[in-house]
Amino acid sequence: MSPTPRIGVLALQGDVREHVASLRAAGADALRVRRPAELDDVDALVIPGGESTTIGKLLTTFELLEPLQKRVRDGMPAFGSCAGMILLAERVLDGTADQVSVGGIDMTVRRNAFGRQVDSWESDLDIDGLDGGSFHAVFIRAPWVEEAGAEVTALGAVGPRIVAVRQGPLLATAFHPELTPDPRIHALFVDIVKESRQ
């Protein structure tokens, strides 16, 4: 087994290039995943931001939904940012009639909770598990966590609204860490992947 984790980035829509660059900066071997055989070849997966319903439809079209659901159920680490957080949630509020979910994190999220694209904003957040001070978070049509189960650890919040969580090897943020030069969220995920391989 290579000491460098192989982490895929779901390359159907969203900030794929930025996540690949952030993962490489954090010391991972990062590659794009579009097909089931490529999913089989990685230790973990990042589900980027984008549009959760579109990504869900593309997961079905590319025959990735069921293999990804199985890998997550079987303990594969996954990190979802923004739309990726929605896809990793077990329950979604304000979803479309055909909304699909990868699931894995025992939480209920609300889509577009902070508003529309024009309501995008940035904030410095304290994130549990990150050394070096606050993290500059970029929110774009962001969800929030409406309710989290007992196994879910809240890592960061905006007021009363949870915006970063972890459950075992699964990590999710309502914001886009790949849009900043700060590699610490991706480094945290790389550490989670390394822990899962021991």
Q: In 3-state terms, the chain is what percent helix, strand and coil (to 5)?
A: 30, 30, 40
> Which one of 147, 176, 186, 195 is the catalytic residue?
176
Active site residue 19: no
Distance between CA atoms of residues 65 and 47, nearest Å: 12
> Which one of 90, 178, 186, 195 is the catalytic residue?
178
Contact 152, 167 (CB under 8 A): yes
Active site residue 176: yes
Distance between CA atoms of residues 133 and 109, nearest Å: 27
Distance between CA atoms of residues 198 and 183, nearest Å: 23
> Which one of 19, 38, 51, 82 is the catalytic residue?
82
Active site residue 178: yes
Longest dimension (CA), the chain: 46
According to DSSP H, which parts of the chain are helical? 16-25, 36-40, 52-61, 65-73, 83-88, 184-196
Task: Point out the residues that are catalytic.
Answer: 82, 176, 178
